[in-house]
Structure 1
Amino acid sequence: MVKRIAIRSAFPALLMALLGAAYVTPARAGATDGIHVADGRLAEAGGEPLVLRGVNHGYAFGPGPASVFDDIRATGANAVRVALSSGHEWAATKKAAVAGVIDRCKAARLICVLDVHDTMGYGTQPGAATIAEAVDYWLSLRDVLRHEEPYVVLNIANEPSGHAVDADWVGNTMAAIARLRAAGLRHALMVDAPNWGNDAFRVMYDHAAAVFASDPQRNVVFDVHMYGPFDTAAKVSGYLDHFVAQQLPIVVGEFSSLHEYGDPDEDAIMAYCQDHGLGYLGWSWSGNSPEYHYLDVVSDYRAGRLTPWGRRLIDGPDGLRATGRTASVFGRQWLAAAR
């Protein structure tokens, strides 16, 4: 768990007397015990809007140095999407490691989006896991995830099919949601689009409302990955407008400034998300294979060595440093500890 601040003096009582009304009033009507969807957008447990701003971290295949979460936080990010492994593509991420990731996210004041990365490109990628197998992994982590609803979003399955793969994304995603809820997991659930996450055949686009309604908690956020197919502002807005108009929560869970299969319009992606209050998470902090080094935000996990993509994502227009806002839960957590 996060190390709490212990203050053994009269100061906490004085602080609470002076500022308490601003921080310790009961949660607003409609608040829940964790991150949740309200009026088509993500919100915190207390009802405050939650706009995710951050990067991806390929923890399962490149954990990086101990400082990595603090380094990500220093960019202005308020969230990090962390790749875990169920043991299909990479060595399974053990319970203790997942607990450590959550603790380090909380210590760095980052909302922790956890994904099972092994489902990437199922049907195209040899050895990829199914959505159901990803759920098996989440169920094995129930003890670790319990009580983390204000800090953790569960991204059920990363990019759960490849190009031109005719998998039952709708049925499999609904079944996954049902199993997780039946097991008592109350977290906000993020679901990735099929076809390497870019929804090439608009399956998620067409069926998101039904998937959302299938969750008895109505606590599902949709995740599109914007690479080559989203190479113009019109394509970016044309896709995202559909979700905004239907009040269906959506984030751009991965994107970049370059890609071998086309040139994403990162300016349009970031501007649209800023203008409409949507979250975005750039791919990825560091550790991509040599042919994909252009996707690294920093070189060799060194926070001071920003790549061109890193400079754009962090310090460019609508970038992390200008738009990231720390989640309110961490302010409440600090005051509760002092109290």
Structure 2
Amino acid sequence: MRHPPRSVLLAVAGAAALIGSVTVPVVTASGAAPACSVEYSVTSQWDSGFQGAVKVTNSTAAMSSWSLAFDFAGGQKLTQGWNATWSQSGTTVTAASESYNGSLATGASVSAGFIASWSGSNTVPNSFKLNGTSCNTAVEPSPTPEPTDPAEDGPPVLRASGNKLVDAGGVTRRLLGVNRSGGEFMCVQGRGIFDGPVDDASVKAIADWKANTVRIPLNEECWLGLSNIDPAYAGANYINAVKDLVAKVKAHGMTPVVELHWTHGQYTGNSAGCSDVHASCQKPMPDMQYTPSFWASVANTFKNDRTVVFDLFNEPYPDRATSTTTQAWQCWRDGGSCPGIGYEVAGMQDLVDSVRGTGAANLILAGGIAYSNDLSQWLTYRPADPAGNLAAAWHVYNFNTCANESCWNSTLAPVAAQVPLVAGEIGENTCAHGFIDQVMKWFDDRGLSYLGWTWNTWDCSSGPSLISSYDGTPTAFGTGLRDRLRALNG
């Protein structure tokens, strides 16, 4: 969805660079076995940065917390990390355990990842210490940890089964809830991270509507901490704020959907939202320079929590740039040099590959063309997913082309017959709910999912707004969704 007016990293030079395997055992004077081992890998590398990972295995007595230290020898600078508290002092990098992964039994392993900058050379560290004790090293790709089980009263782990979403017990589930806009635009505008409060009370107000899902739009430049973003709202600060909101959503039993909304890449063609190269508006397609890195980082952040759903890209509109619909769908899936788009495009297949390349098996949503309003050839061009956990996403407003039952019956029904279908955004700019009532009935009759746009206190006639206060007071438009959710889930 476009927003009301406001005061507004796999940049791969070649294929992902994996460092060859080298093992340097550390043996004590008595010939005793090493106390620990570390596998260090560079999983991808680009002109000015790289993504790395470490896997630590404890060979001594069990420990309740751990701290891994190593030195960068090539001037590398840490920018962000996950699955540990990362820091750098001079050349020394430290990864300290989080509260959830501090316990490390004898023979047990733990993995963590990071992103760093480099120039000149990207020399591999050759010594590591775990809680002050030297370890041997091996340089190879790290395996994927198994996902953790969610709390019993938390949201379910969802997977696609035929044309349904099901939980671990095989019970059919629906995603029914709202969007929480702000994370896509506030940071790039230098005004914060979220628009309005995201404290526990404001999240509870969403749950009180009997919503079971919250979609959270994001900005790739803010997540990756690019230089044009105020550091207060970028990199680790931004990531931690998103993780905190995800945790609050889960704490109220709702499914978090993290979604890429605004991206890098200059587009000034038909229907351009802005002329800015930066991620300050909706672009027709994601960019190859940064979006695969964004999704690799997001997937690494949440891959151990499969209750989190990934929505690849908000509203693709390559059809406004290309001369034929076939070209648009080819661009949508395959990316590359797309007609009418001046930057290299990351297609949906590239993004699926980025997510799955981390080992993440989370449910993925992929919206079609025409601002996700056209799914007419989604089944023909759907990306291959080795995890088999892919659903179709669709958006509809009263001003879209496919905004009547005839179109839904002819283009949506065939998709919904084969894969799960999620209406990631539904809304209208009338400050009423007559149109979304029709949408919700069509989806309810078929047991499908939908999310209202948006849980923000905007003018509902300029940007469909569900609430007039973050305590959950609905607008006239929002009343329709609130009453429907309470009737279904109350």
Is TM (by shorter chain) over 0.5?
yes
1:127-276 pair list within 5 angstroms = 127=277, 128=279, 130-132=286-288, 133-149=290-306, 151-161=307-317, 164-166=320-322, 167=328, 168-171=331-334, 172-199=347-374, 204-212=375-383, 214-227=384-397, 228=399, 229-245=401-417, 247-258=418-429, 265-276=435-446
User: Which string of whole-angstrom CA distances, capped at 9 and with x for unpartnered residues, describes residues 118-158 of structure 1?
Assistant: 14998423344625433321222344203210x21000111
Deviation at 1:85, TM superposition (A): 1.6
Is the Cα–Cα contact under 8 Å of residues 231 and 264 in structure 1 kept in the other structure?
no
Equivalent-residue separation in structure 2 for 1:142 and 1:39 (angstroms): 24
Task: Report how far residue 218 of structure 1 moved.
Answer: 1.4
Unaligned runs of 5+ in 2: 1-82, 84-98, 101-155, 187-193, 223-227, 323-327, 335-346
> Who is 1:87 aligned against?
221
C-alpha distance in 1, partners of 2:204/2:348? Answer: 33
Residue 111 of structure 2 is matched in structure 1 by none
- Percent identical pairs in the alignment equals 25
User: Any conservation in 2 of the 1:122–1:160 contact (CA below 8 Å)?
Assistant: no
Read off the aligned partner of 1:72 and give its amino acid letter.
I
**Total equivalences in the alignment:** 282
Greater alpha carbon shift after TM alignment, 82-91 vs 235-244: 82-91
Work out the CA distance in 2 between the residues paired with 1:42 and 1:184.
Answer: 21
Task: Verify the 8 A CA contact 2:318 2:332 in the aligned structure 1.
Answer: no
Structure 1 residues 45 and 187: CA distance shift in structure 2, 3 A: same
- TM-score, normalization by structure 2: 0.52
How far the C-alpha of 1:225 sits from its partner, in A, is 0.5
Residue 475 (structure 2) aligns with:
307
| 1:99 aligned onto 2:243 | yes
Letter in 2 for 1:298: I
Change (3 A) 1:119 1:277: farther
8 Å contact from structure 1 (residues 134, 156) kept in 2: no
CA distance in 2: counterparts of 1:142 and 1:206, whole angstroms: 27
Change (3 A) 1:194 1:286: same
Q: Which amino acid aligns with 2:297?
A: S
Structure 1 residue 99: Cα displacement: 1.5
Q: Give 5+ residue unaligned stretches, structure 1.
A: 5-32, 326-339
Do 2:163 and 2:420's aligned partners in 1 also have CA atoms closer than 8 Å?
yes
Residues 141 and 165 (structure 1 numbering): CA distance in 2 closer, same or farther, change over 3 Å? Answer: same
Measured in 2, the distance between the counterparts of 1:110 and 1:169 equals: 30
Quick check: 1:256–1:264 contact (8 Å CA) kept in 2?
no
Q: What amino acid sits opposite 2:296 in the alignment?
A: L
- Distance change (3 Å), C-alpha of 1:142 and 1:220: closer
In structure 2, the residue matched to 1:45 is 168
Larger Rg: 2
Aligned-residue CA RMSD (Å)? 3.1
TM-score (norm 1): 0.74
The one-letter amino acid paired with 1:83 is P
* Amino acid corresponding to residue 471 of structure 2 in structure 1: R
